[in-house]
Amino acid sequence: MADAMWLSESVARRAASGCTFSVDVDRVGEDARSLRLRDEIVRRLGRPIVSEAGRANVRLVAGVTSFDSDEAFSIESHDGVTVIAGNTTAALMYGLYGWLRRRTLGGTPTDGRIVSAPDQPIRMIDHWDQIDGSVERGYAGESIFFGRPGSNVHAEFTGFPQRDETDAFRGDMDRVEAYARFLASVGINAVCLNNVNVRGLATNLIADPWLGRVAGIARVFSSFGVSTFLSVNFAAPMRIGGLGTSDPLDPAVRAWWAGVADRIYERIPDFGGFVVKADSEGEPGPFAYGRTHADGANMFAEALAPHGGTVIWRAFVYNCRQDWRDRTLDRARAAYDHFRELDGRFAKNAVLQVKFGPIDFQTREPLSPLIGGMSRTNLIVEFEITAEYLGHQIDVNYAVPQWLSMIHADTGRDDADGRPLETADYLRDVAVDPSRVGYAAVGNVGMDDNWTGHKLAQSNLYGYGRMCWDGSLSAGEIAREWTRLTFPEADGDARATIERILGTSNATYERYTAPLGVGFMVNRNGHYGPGVNDYEYDRWGTYHYADRDGVGVDRTVATGTGYTGQYSPRVAATYENLATCPDELLLFFHHVPYSHVLHDGTSVIQHIYDTHFAGAAAVDDYIAQWETLAGRIDDTAYENVRERLQRQRENAIAWRDQINTYFHRMSGVDDAHGRVIHR
């Protein structure tokens, strides 16, 4: 029996106790979603549904309101009767779970009305699941969609044991249903089932017989209001279509994709569309035919348009064979350099998916200059819930603070009234089709009993969903919600302890890993643990340039790679200037001597020592804090986190010592406080 995450059935039943429901969806029609809605009430909550609304004290009504968003809902309470209303059945599902959450958290008004509408129309989870059952960058066991029944290993995704590929599907539909419920409960409305690196037989997911199995999964998601996407291989027309080309301007290729889309929509009427990684890290793409990314994306858009589908085109394109010797090259420039000139050339149902930062989900990055650099393009901002660079769900790392700082970052653009646009509003502002913008994130669940390996890593999935729906929530509010829902047995002190650990964990991880935004000092085998020089002479464009005198990447216009020039003048000036560049991004933008003094008066080298000692010490403190929870929270969760914290401690010490020694050997500067730095 898998972990209930934040949806404990007993808590939900307590919240709904004494309630009698009515469900009126006649105006939008009875369908799989309304059946699912009734099922949630009767089976999950154990409450009756009456046919006469007058006899119910919780009344779900679709189609009588007319919110701008078909996903918005209202909750209105008067005289002991609550009405949950929305345009659609999907909205009622969000309303039901929103009502339950409020009841549990104690925030339901006895009388009054609240309206809740999602900030972002696209709220998506990308799975990097592979048909052999492995998950690229997965740290919680095998795929919940693919792999053998009953199997769950933690092998590296690149070295996964060869599998019988005649049936790629795990077939655990209970698991899929539970997952769909989790997603719906926090407002996620789209999911892509398979890895963007579409290798081997995974290319066949868009065709029979596997398409039928995809449809079975999609039906479950659809009943919860979640639409299903597939990642496709740009070269599929040649690899499985028998064509001699995959040229996006070739009529036969376009016809082939149109046929593929037609057959998919026959099976999956509300299919979301395609996700495409093209001409990136070795994947095929339009460049082979002298075509642009827009040509590629628009071909898929044309095939999907008749069905209302969307193509999501990833902007994660860069030269992954960079020469470390040439300091004028800068991978951070790549997305902007590739896509800026294509602004306005993407179809209405095409969306460009941009990683939040210019590199790759590092602990600290500035906002991507494409978010602010486009003016007539649908954009999705991409996050990574799975903790690839954030501790592999071994180290506690509640990443919501970082993500929020990205969606609230200044894009450098102003609205019509001259007010600075944050990411969230900017997306609407530049959209060709405002219903096709939003957020996507790589998921973090697998077949582990608790779904995410580390119990506390559930908070990131929860938090990501909540952030997509309501970007005005603070990281602390989201942590408070999650903790209360997840540990209903915990007393207030215990919850405060958990929230304290969550709330500081992202900063703690940053402290003991790569300093001051320099990034990528990570072990090249899998990205867990330190490897200060692991990428320094490699082809990935991720360097720190540390020498005996200083460290950091000069990305200024004045003396460096010119990357800061990709931002609007306002943002560019902040980063270009040493005096205004935020310390936490100092080494991302500047190469400075170890003696450079930060805004708080410490030198760079002393800051490195200080933060690394502090970061590792914080983990010791987490262990002490966590141990006070023994017997006060669920034993399984307690033991899971206790064990992970021990491993985190080892990791933090490895980072602390390797970073400190590396920079001590380089700089020759001793710690001002005389702490142990190994020679």
Q: Which residues bind a second copy (CB under 8 A)?
A: 158-159, 161-162, 324-325, 327, 524-525, 530, 532-534, 537, 545-549, 654, 657-658, 661-662, 664-668, 678-679
Q: How far is the CB of 259 from a second copy (least distance, A)?
A: 34
Catalytic choice (384, 388, 481, 534): 388
Query: Measured from the CB atom, is 213 or 656 closer to a second copy?
Result: 656
Query: Measured from the CB atom, is 210 or 324 closer to a second copy?
Result: 324
281 is catalytic: yes
Query: Measured from the CB atom, is 244 or 668 closer to a second copy?
Result: 668
Q: How far is the CB of 88 from a second copy (least distance, A)?
A: 48
Q: How many Å apart are CA 58 and CA 375, to the nearest integer?
A: 45
At 317, the amino acid letter reads V
Query: Measured from the CB atom, is 469 or 663 closer to a second copy?
Result: 663
CB 124 within 8 Å of CB 191: yes
E strands present in 406-477: 410-414, 420-422, 438-442
Report the Cα 518 to chain-centroid distance in Å.
22
Q: How far is the CB of 473 from a second copy (least distance, A)?
A: 40
Q: How far is the CB of 152 from a second copy (least distance, A)?
A: 17
Q: How far is the CB of 202 from a second copy (least distance, A)?
A: 17
> What single DSSP character describes residue 41?
I
Q: How far is the CB of 654 from a second copy (least distance, A)?
A: 8
User: 440 exposed, middle or buried (CB, 10 Å; 0-12, 13-18, 19+)?
Assistant: buried
E strands present in 484-622: 550-551, 592-593
Query: Measured from the CB atom, is 390 or 551 closer to a second copy?
Result: 551
Q: How far is the CB of 647 from a second copy (least distance, A)?
A: 16
Residue 176 parent element (H or E): helix 173-185
User: What is the sign of the dihedral through the CA atoms of 236, 226, 12 and 465?
Assistant: positive
Short-list 308, 359, 370, CA closest to 337: 370
Catalytic choice (142, 270, 330, 360): 360
Q: How far is the CB of 678 from a second copy (least distance, A)?
A: 4
Q: How far is the CB of 325 from a second copy (least distance, A)?
A: 4
Please state whether the peptide bond connecting residue 434 to the residue before it is cis, i.e. omega within 30 degrees of 0: no
Q: How far is the CB of 547 from a second copy (least distance, A)?
A: 4
Q: How far is the CB of 118 from a second copy (least distance, A)?
A: 44
Residue 380 parent element (H or E): strand 379-384
Query: Measured from the CB atom, is 5 or 532 closer to a second copy?
Result: 532
Query: Measured from the CB atom, is 325 or 673 closer to a second copy?
Result: 325
User: Distances from the Cα of 256 to the Cαs of 22, 249, 252, 645, in angstroms?
Assistant: 47, 12, 6, 52
Query: Measured from the CB atom, is 265 or 545 closer to a second copy?
Result: 545
Query: Measured from the CB atom, is 210 or 545 closer to a second copy?
Result: 545
Q: How far is the CB of 158 from a second copy (least distance, A)?
A: 8
Q: How many Å apart are CA 431 and CA 421, to the nearest integer?
A: 14
Angle in degrees, CA 670, 674, 676, rounded to 5: 90
360 is catalytic: yes
CB 260 within 8 Å of CB 304: no
Report the Cα 104 to chain-centroid distance in Å.
26
Q: Can you give the C-alpha Rg of the chain in angstroms?
A: 25
Residues 6+ apart with CB under 8 A from 278: 234, 284, 285, 286, 293, 296, 313, 314, 317
586 backbone φψ class: left, alpha, beta (φ>0; ψ -120 to 50): alpha
Query: Measured from the CB atom, is 126 or 142 closer to a second copy?
Result: 142
Catalytic choice (26, 39, 208, 281): 281
CB crowding 588-626: b at 16 or more within 10 Å, else e = bbbbbebebeeeeebbbbbbbbbbbbebbebbeebbeeb
Query: Measured from the CB atom, is 174 or 547 closer to a second copy?
Result: 547
Query: Measured from the CB atom, is 27 or 524 closer to a second copy?
Result: 524
User: Across the strands, what pairs with 77?
Assistant: 82, 112
Beta strands 310-314; 350-355: pairing state = parallel
Q: How far is the CB of 530 from a second copy (least distance, A)?
A: 7
> What tokens appear for 505 in the block?
């964990």
> What tokens appear for 203 in the block?
């290319």
Q: How many Å apart are CA 181 and CA 174, to the nearest integer?
A: 11
Q: How many Å apart are CA 220 and CA 184, to the nearest integer?
A: 11
Angle in degrees, CA 59, 62, 65, rounded to 5: 105
Query: Measured from the CB atom, is 24 or 534 closer to a second copy?
Result: 534
Specify the 3-state DSSP secondary structure of 592: strand
> What tokens appear for 356 in the block?
């939040």
User: Across the strands, what pairs with 551?
Assistant: 592
3-state SS record for 325-376: CCCCCCHHHHHHHHHHHHCCCCCCCEEEEEECCCCCCCCCCCCCCCCCCCCC
DSSP string, 639-673: HHHHHHHHHHHHHHHHHHHHHHHHHHHHH-PPPTT
Task: Write out the catalytic residue numbers.
Answer: 281, 360, 388
